């Protein structure tokens, strides 16, 4: 699926989509790894952004995303694990992102006095509020949905896809008041912040619950410990976008890893349809 810039989920065909996570590639050979994944049929390229505050790790920023954009026309699916998503969506839009997914938990604290333009030029950087360091099981307040709706509207104004993500400890119900507006929901199947973690099987029930909340044209993405075995299980519960890092870029044969994951996802989707109750 080649990008013409803009919302990639509106142009995606039906069926599972494979999204290699570039954080797991060898940055010294990033172009080679991107080419191998795309040649094997990868649909979008997933970019994980971590600010060292919302999650305890740092990754890359807008200049690296801009470098990816300058290298490839493939859709860039940017997942921002940051405390102030409103500050960052503008910057990643400018850098060349086609879609941005933010965390509903990060919408728990929103400074209503700071406008979009001011967020772009704040000399002291993003708004940081200490209570945004959210534990995995912390309840998301109802106000978060209102703030999430503003982020989604802004992303759509910018012509980008809009996604919202849930940490493992956050229930699907936290998305109830924003899910109608988004293009994609990302269910984290590990605690965000580090690659290479083991898949959390208790997230399968949440995947099925979220799928039941979505329209047919909305995408359900999973990220964390995804490989052919876990990807098939997620597809059976309704997931249709599969983010994989180590399983693809840690493989000796990147192309084979992409093809194997797609085959497993397609098989899981068929099993899901086969066992779906008829009405």
Domain spans of the chain, in order of start: 17-273
pTM listed for this prediction: 0.86
Cα 163 versus chain centre, distance: 7
pLDDT of residue 211: 97
Task: Let me know: does 80 contact 113? Beta carbons within 8 Å.
Answer: no
pLDDT of residue 136: 46
| Backbone dihedral region for residue 258 (phi beyond 0: left; psi -120 to 50: alpha; all else: beta) | alpha
Task: Kindly state the tokens that stand for 127.
Answer: 């708004």
pLDDT of residue 120: 44
Spell out the CATH class of 17-273: alpha beta
Residues 6+ apart with CB under 8 A from 60: 23, 47, 49
pLDDT (tens digit, 9 = 90+) per residue, 54-75? Answer: 888 889 999 999 999 999 999 9
pLDDT of residue 110: 52
pLDDT of residue 278: 38
Spans of the chain, pLDDT less than 70:
1-4, 109-139, 194-196, 273-279
pLDDT of residue 112: 47
Catalytic residues: 48, 223
């Amino acid at each position: 699926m080649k990008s013409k810039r803009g919302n990639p989920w509106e142009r995606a065909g039906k069926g599972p989509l494979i999204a290699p996570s570039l954080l797991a590639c060898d940055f010294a050979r990033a172009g080679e790894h991107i080419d191998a994944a795309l040649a094997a049929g990868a649909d979008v390229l997933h970019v994980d952004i971590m600010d060292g505050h919302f999650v305890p790790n740092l990754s890359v920023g807008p200049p690296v995303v801009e470098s990816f954009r300058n290298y490839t026309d493939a859709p860039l699916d940017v997942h921002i694990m940051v405390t102030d998503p409103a500050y960052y969506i503008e910057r990643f839009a400018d850098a060349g992102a086609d879609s941005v997914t933010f965390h509903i938990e990060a919408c728990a604290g929103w400074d209503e006095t700071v406008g979009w333009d001011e967020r772009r030029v704040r000399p002291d950087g993003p708004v940081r509020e200490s209570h945004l360091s959210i534990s995995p099981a912390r309840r998301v307040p109802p106000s978060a949905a209102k703030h999430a709706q503003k982020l989604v509207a802004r992303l759509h104004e910018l012509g980008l896809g809009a996604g919202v993500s849930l940490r493992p400890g956050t229930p699907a119900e936290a998305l109830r008041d924003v899910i109608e507006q988004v293009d994609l929901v990302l269910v984290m199947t590990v605690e965000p912040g580090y690659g290479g973690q083991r898949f959390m099987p208790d997230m399968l029930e949440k995947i099925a619950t979220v799928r039941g909340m979505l329209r047919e044209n909305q995408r359900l993405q999973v990220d964390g410990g995804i490989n052919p075995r876990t990807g098939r299980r997620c597809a059976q519960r309704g997931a249709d976008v599969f983010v994989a890092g180590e399983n693809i870029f840690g493989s000796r044969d990147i192309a084979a890893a992409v093809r194997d994951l797609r085959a497993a996802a397609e098989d899981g989707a068929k099993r899901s349809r086969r066992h779906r109750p008829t009405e």
